[in-house]
Amino acid sequence: MWTCPNCNCTFKITNQNHFCDSTNNFLSGKTEVSLALYRELLSTLEKIGPIILRETKSMMVIASDTAFAYIIKLGKNFIDIVLPFNEPFAENLCFRKIALVPGSNQYNHHLRIMTLRDFNEEVTEYFRKAYANGKNISTTRA
């Protein structure tokens, strides 16, 4: 494990490329609607398990042991999230786009949250799957 001497974030890779700053830059100037969606996202994910937030210049990375979700945009009245999976989950009602990452076996699943009601059971179940991938654990429930 490597700890950045500037921001004290820990990473598995020595000298991991990252943006040393707080989430305040990413959230600066956002509307109350998008901030409420952001808070609900964090609340939903924290019910699944502990998370780590890391800001980059263009997005917010959400990790457990490793990254499992990315906030790619906070609009005026929405939040765009990407969940990477090793298979496409085409039979769903929540993803607006599923795309194979070139040169990999990873499929990015794009989700746009526009209301608090969008944090439904289907979306939460995909968050659980993504979180399990970040922890490298099985999502099978007893």
Quick: pLDDT tens for 68-108: 999 999 999 999 999 999 999 999 999 999 999 999 999 99
Query: Whole-model pTM?
Result: 0.80
**3-class secondary-structure state, position 83:** strand
In the chain, DSSP assigns E strands to 2-3, 10-11, 52-55, 60-63, 67-74, 79-85, 95-100, 107-113
Cβ 69 vs Cβ 108: under 8 Å: no
Cβ 81 vs Cβ 74: under 8 Å: no
**3-class secondary-structure state, position 118:** helix
Q: pLDDT digit string (tens) for 111-139?
A: 999 999 999 999 999 999 999 998 876 55
**Statement: residue 24 has pLDDT above 60:** no
Q: Average pLDDT over the chain, rounded to whole? A: 86
In angstroms, rounded to a whole number, what is the distance separating the alpha carbons of residues 9 and 54?
A: 8
Tokens of 60: 């917010």
**Statement: residue 8 has pLDDT above 90:** no
